[in-house]
Amino acid sequence: MTTTINKLNSVDIEAVGQLAGAIQADPSVAGTIWKSTVDWKGGFRSEAKSRDFAPVPSDEPVALGGDDTAPNPVEQLLGALGNCLAVGYAANATAAGIELQSLRIELEGDLDLHTFLGLADGHAGYETIQARVSIESEASADEINELHRKVVATSPVGHTLQRAIPVSVDLG
């Protein structure tokens, strides 16, 4: 089977359209499950394995007791949001006929270490996350604003971070 890649933004928009059509025909197709397995490698190092891809390493900076060999989990969370947004921009720009010359998403989050270090009770996660998107394109400002609106409205990782979801961590 040959995959046809749309020349615009190197996105296989036909595959995305076929999936959307399959979901419209059978809504149960939309229900997916994603998995990852993490193995500890000693110290604060671990590796996350998803599907058949090479493991993604994780570590903590030296100031937090790690060896600083890889991004830490909270940095990976920022990266996951940025990567999800990038997919959204590429897909939606291609569907709208917008050529992207460049796309950069800079992310940062505010995190207080008191709870993580056991120095206080409270919230151990990010208090806020900010993403700044820079797009170079010959599209009009209105087209870019509509693209941005669509991406923010449909980002799975963005939506996950913006609402409380059940998380269970079982020992067994």
pLDDT of residue 1: 47
- CATH number of the domain that residue 87 is part of: 3.30.300.20
Tell me, what amino acid is at 138? Answer: E
The separation between the first and the last C-alpha atoms of the chain, rounded to the nearest angstrom, is 42
Q: How large is the greatest C-alpha to C-alpha distance in the chain, in angstroms?
A: 57
User: Does residue 155 sit within a domain?
Assistant: yes
115 and 148 inside one domain: yes
pLDDT for 69-81, tens place per residue? Answer: 999 999 999 999 9
Question: For residue 82, how many C-alpha atoms fall within 13 Å in the half-sphere facing its CB?
Answer: 19
Give the chain's residues under pLDDT 70.
Answer: 1-6
Among 4, 16, 1, 2, smallest CA distance to 94 is for 16
Identify the domain containing residue 121 by its residue range. 72-172
pLDDT for 56-104, tens place per residue? Answer: 999 999 999 999 999 999 999 999 999 999 999 999 999 999 999 999 9
54 and 79 inside one domain: no
